[in-house]
Structure 1
């Protein structure tokens, strides 16, 4: 059953220094139009081959989806509506946005097209730090963009924040958190910086010219994040996500529950009918394949049950609610303990996992060590 849709808009006005996402800087409007038409063809072929159930979540990511101008945005949301008209009454339709790229006209088009949730890539409220990491906005544009979104009728708003940035201290991060809480938003995502290959930051890191906080300072920032979120009434429902009740990202929970979703656009990944696929990443290659065959895929493969069980465990443990043992048994026909019992017992003894009311969850001690915990479940199924 496929009830979730991910759509990728790869265009950006510039490349942030830490970004390794499939994004593309262009000033060529015709290329953007060619891409939107290719997206339309892929959506048409996708729903023809695998007709969707009632759609419950749509997520438009990037790149910067709000890079599109008003006419392009109108074409895009109309295209999505044409191919995915059967939506639940409470559908969650999220679009990522950068501050400074959401004028009132564009927001009105998004709202009329069914978008009802916006996730802004804010990252920091320190203007010097924003410039340091290659962002094109400043904090004043954050406030204007959020005000415009609220004026357009959007109430389900989220912002992303990054900690562990160059020369960032716990004191500076606390100032960003204070500014964020003053906005009275229903949802926050906050991640530690990862220095990825093929980024300017990686080049600087290799030359020992990237003054990152120490590991101890980063741990302090994460502890501060969790404590401050709780103190301000935000429930941590996933390692990096915090929400007021009812405002959790339902689309992202599709991933963490290892459920099916359509993946559409350049470089997008999808998971439908037990098969994963990967689309061509370079924009021109994507457009070419979409024109030639409708589905611009460069890879498609079945996921074995063993791999599904590992994915279910690793992704599910990202959520604070953890992995439901009854759901695991029903889905895979084998008790969770028969597959992962030894590793679970070791991690419980180490104080990193706990079993509560039929669920396996990370402990408070285990949350910051999540990646270490997840690694213990890789490659275990064949040994079970």
Structure 2
């Protein structure tokens, strides 16, 4: 039976300001380069989806800042999507939005073209820290954008926060989180700051100029995060994600369930049966390859059964509901213990995993040491 591909990620790599922590594929917005990019993107999507009205379950438009596009370009993007995909069948249609970068006209365009979920890049509720992060919005913009989205009947909104920021104390994080929770949104994604190569923060870190909180403070922030979310009726369903019941991200659950998806755009990655595909990142190279060659591919990695098993465990254990070993049996035709019995027993003895009637879950300690846990599932 042919494997179904039910999700698509679409990358829009344009920003009007470069954040100091971000290493995603991104470029300063100009109208000309964005128009050329959309023409190339249309060709790439056509190469993968030659038929119109393709059936998908989720679409996620990320960046960069997708709403950095002007109104005509935003309409062009959605027309491309509507031509190739039957949007009436989409269960979850997400676009990333930054506070202050969207107006009434753009908000109505999103609504008219079927977007039903907003991923909202707030990061921290503090103007001085926003400035240090290289963000151009301020806290006032967050309130205005929440009001604008509510006015246009967007109810499925996810707010992103980052913690363990330079100079951030535990008390400051708690205050920022409390203010973010006051919006009573149905979904929150909250990540510890990662120092990524080729970023402003990476250079500062190498120079000893980035003053991050101590590890104990970072652990305290994560524990406060879990406690305050629970107290507000927002359930943790993945290591870094929290939602009111029914508002879990269906698109991200595609990733964590190790299911297939298309990846369109510069630097995007897709996971198709037996292979992972990575697109070229440089903007001119992407545009040239997409317009003049069949597909703008940088490399294709073969995903054999060993790699599939490894990824199944890395991703599945991120979910709070855990990983059911019957799923492993169904997908691979093998008992999980015949492949990973030693690792599972050792991690259980170290109080990093727990087994509840064949469902394996990270313990609280395991969540804090997730990378150590996942490394145990690499097969030699």
Which of the five TM-score ranges fits, normalised by the shorter chain? over 0.9
Q: Is the 8 A contact 1:123 1:162 kept in 2?
A: yes
Distance 2:254 2:139 in 1: 32
Task: Report deviation, 1:153.
Answer: 1.4
- C-alpha distance after superposition, 1:316-345 (max 9, x if no partner): 111111211111111101011111110000
CA deviation after TM superposition for structure 1 residue 357, in Å: 3.2
Q: How does 1:182-197 map to 2 (within 5 A)?
A: 182-197=182-197
Checking the alignment, whether the CA contact within 8 Å between 2:20 and 2:199 is kept in structure 1 is yes
Question: Is the Cα–Cα contact under 8 Å of residues 119 and 158 in structure 1 kept in the other structure?
Answer: yes
Q: Is the 8 A contact 1:56 1:87 kept in 2?
A: no
Give 1:283-298 correspondences, 5 Å limit. Answer: 283-298=283-298
C-alpha distance in 2 between matches for 1:157 and 1:178: 17
Runs of 4+ in 1 over 3 A off after TM superposition: none
Mark the CA change 1:372 to 1:53 in structure 2 (over 3 Å): closer, same or farther: farther
The answer for the alignment partner of 1:77 in structure 2 is 78
Q: Counterparts of 1:303 and 1:151 in 2: how far apart (Å)?
A: 45
| Number of aligned residue pairs | 377
After superposition, residues 32-51 of structure 1 pair within 5 angstroms as 32-48=34-50
Q: Deviations over 1:189-238 (max 9, x none)?
A: 00000111111111111111111111111111111101111111111000
- 5+ residue gaps, structure 2: none
For residues 358-381 of structure 1, give each alpha carbon's deviation from its aligned partner in whole angstroms, at most 9, with x where no partner exists: 211111221111111111111x2x
Residue equivalent to 1:352? 352
**C-alpha separation in 1, matches of 2:95 and 2:56:** 16
Kept in 1, the 8 Å contact 2:54–2:86? The answer is no
Aligned to 1:59: 60
Equivalent residue, structure 2, for 1:224: 224
1:3 to 6, 14, 22: 6
Q: What is the alpha-carbon distance in structure 2 between the residues aligned to residue 347 and residue 130 of structure 1?
A: 39
Q: How does 1:125-204 map to 2 (within 5 A)?
A: 125-204=125-204
Q: 8 Å contact 1:268–1:278 — kept in the other structure?
A: yes
Provide the aligned C-alpha RMSD in A.
Answer: 1.3
Structure 1 length normalisation: TM-score? 0.96
Structure 1: state its 5+ residue gaps: none
Instruction: Provide the TM-score with structure 2 as the length reference.
Output: 0.97
1: CA distance, partners of 2:107 / 2:336:
46
Any conservation in 2 of the 1:119–1:157 contact (CA below 8 Å)?
yes
State the partner residue of 2:262: 262
Alpha-carbon distance between aligned partners in 2 of 1:155 and 1:299, rounded to the nearest angstrom: 39
Structure 1 CA distance for aligned equivalents of residues 127 and 364 of structure 2? 33
